[in-house]
Amino acid sequence: MTTDFPRLLALAERAAARASGALVAERNQWRVVDAEEGREVKVRADRFAEALIVETLQSESAYRILSEEIGWVSGDESDLFWVVDPLDGSVNYAQGFPHWAVSIALVRGLSPLVGVVDCPALGERFTGIAGQGAWLNGGAIRVSDVADPMRGILMTGIPARASADAETMAAFAQRLARWRKVRMIGSAACAIAAVAAGRAEAYHETGGMLWDVAGGCAVAAGAGAQVTIDGAAPDRPLDVRVTNEAAPL
């Protein structure tokens, strides 16, 4: 049976729009920090937005759901499942920095196939279907053709779960030195969407989770990017690389 990816993308868009509307309307109440552990910060909005997304997806889909706050939600035995980050960039949201997003993807294994990255504070919604196309507010987008890293921009960051020992940070600094400019904006979803739109040439982070990147990776794959996700399982830390294919990582 052929999967109706456009219909599922439309469902993901509706779920993202519902959560984004609430996140904007309720920000003063929802930006309260509920928990902190190391660099990991949880705000009230994470749980509330997640509930809206899960409810919307389940209303029209029987697929399992992997979400940041509640983990796995049971569904049918299909090899497809939803991956949800109800608020990617929680600290940005709490502090009024505009780079935060609702990220939803339909995934098979570690391969995001359909994705939405909704950035309401920026007025931008990125959507994509791997191998079929990607769009920003309905207009087609495409990765850049910059081939030389010394002429390009690398999007990156240090995930909350990532190691920060001296050896890891030295390798991280060496990686950055290859690029003309480096941007760390605090939201993996927004960062990967920037690559999809041709605003940057590559994204690379180690130690993040699938919900951080799945929506953006599906959009990027639709925009012509090469997406590589390495890890042991969908709910374990990953190494994620996204490039316009011309600029090597």
What DSSP line would sit under 123-170, residue for residue?
Answer: TEEEEEETTTEEEETTEE--------GGGSEEE----TTS---HHHHH
pLDDT at 218: 98
CA distance linking residue 29 with residue 95, whole number of Å: 13
Residues counted in the chain = 249
3-state secondary structure of 211: helix
CB 168 within 8 A of CB 162: yes
* Parts of the chain belonging to CATH 3.30.540.10: 5-140
CB 92 within 8 A of CB 186: yes
Fold of 149-243: D-Maltodextrin-Binding Protein; domain 2 (3.40.190)
pLDDT at 42: 80
In the structure, what pLDDT confidence band is assigned to residue 171 with cuts at 50, 70 and 90? confident
Architecture of domain 5-140: 2-Layer Sandwich (3.30)
Region 123-129: mean pLDDT is 98
Share of the chain above pLDDT 90, in %: 84
Region 22-34: mean pLDDT is 92
CA distance linking residue 12 with residue 29, whole number of Å: 25
Look-up of token digits 């919604």: 125
Region 106-121: mean pLDDT is 98
Return the number of other C-beta atoms located less than 10 Å from residue 21's C-beta.
Answer: 15
* Parts of the chain belonging to CATH 3.40.190.80: 149-243
Query: Which parts of the chain fold into alpha helices (H)?
Result: 5-25, 27-30, 44-60, 90-95, 166-176, 188-196, 210-222
pLDDT at 162: 66
Asked whether the predicted pLDDT for residue 1 surpasses 70, the reply is no
In the structure, what pLDDT confidence band is assigned to residue 161 with cuts at 50, 70 and 90? low
